[in-house]
Amino acid sequence: MADRGRLVLVTGESGSGKSSLVNRCAHWLVQAVRESGWEATAVDLRGAEAAELSTRERIRLTFHRLVTFLPAASQGLPHDHEDDPLSGYQALGRTMLEKRRLAVVLLPACELPAELLEYARFTAPGLVFFLESSYPEVERAGEALPHPYDGHALHLRMGRVRGDDVRRFLHERLAGLPPGAGPRISDETLDAILRAAPHLSTVRQVQTVFYELFERAVAESRPTVEYSDFVAYWRPENAR
């Protein structure tokens, strides 16, 4: 992957866990590359979305921010690299490859298919792009990337949370606690909650709801979460 580059597109509705997945993948990739003898660094450019800018302006701004994080690798870039990001990314990638370095770049959220296609075009050795989107048009574009960009792209789709996912989530969270530390929840109570709240469909919703239920039990010094906690708390808007 380091010597050819890659674009990883992660799509799904808001709150589905896209950012969490990207964080874990980026961390794993940096560690794996370092263990192989290369240098690797993650550059997080998220949180700087500029919806009022055009696609071209957003791309130029993102490239400018990236090179400020990689000053050593950006030396020798063509003087017009900000006006021509394609040649800029290619030159940056060549430098990274020569130095046996990999940059894992967490890009700002993608709103338009045209932006996705541009980053697929910019993929270069020494660079791995992670791109998130909750827009259906971008997801559809990710499913139909034209050749040759499809060979450099990986599309991960975050689906809706199911009952088994919620059970696994709670089991893993509670398994790390020592015996007697914190309240527990019975299978019967969990089943009743899932039947009463079929619209719990994203990771964020599950985290929000069960955090509140466990906090209620903790506040009242109870060893278990009860269905009555859910009844007292639950309103559809509370899961947003």
pLDDT tens digit string along 85-106? 888 888 888 888 888 999 999 9
pLDDT of residue 87: 86
DSSP 165-194: HHHHHHHHHHHTSPTTSS-EE-HHHHHHHH
pLDDT value at residue 139: 93
pLDDT of residue 140: 92
Check residue 193 and give its pLDDT: 93
**Residue pLDDT, tens place only, 140-149:** 999 888 766 6
**What strands, in cross-sheet order, belong to the sheet with 39-44?**
39-44, 101-106, 127-133, 6-11, 153-157
* Below-50 pLDDT ranges, the chain: none
Q: For each of the domains in the chain, give its residue range(s) and CATH number, in order of start.
A: 6-157 (3.40.50.300), 163-239 (1.10.8.60)
What was the pLDDT predicted at 146? 72
The identity of residue 138, as a single letter, is V
Tokens 């009463």, residue? Answer: 196
Angle between helices 55-69 and 85-98 (to 10 degrees): 20
54 with 76: CB under 8 angstroms?
no
The token pair at 111 is 């709103």
Query: Which pLDDT does position 41 carry in this prediction?
Result: 93
**Pair 70, 103: CB distance under 8 Å:** yes
pLDDT of res. 150:
66
Contact criterion met (CB below 8 Å) for 117 and 59: no
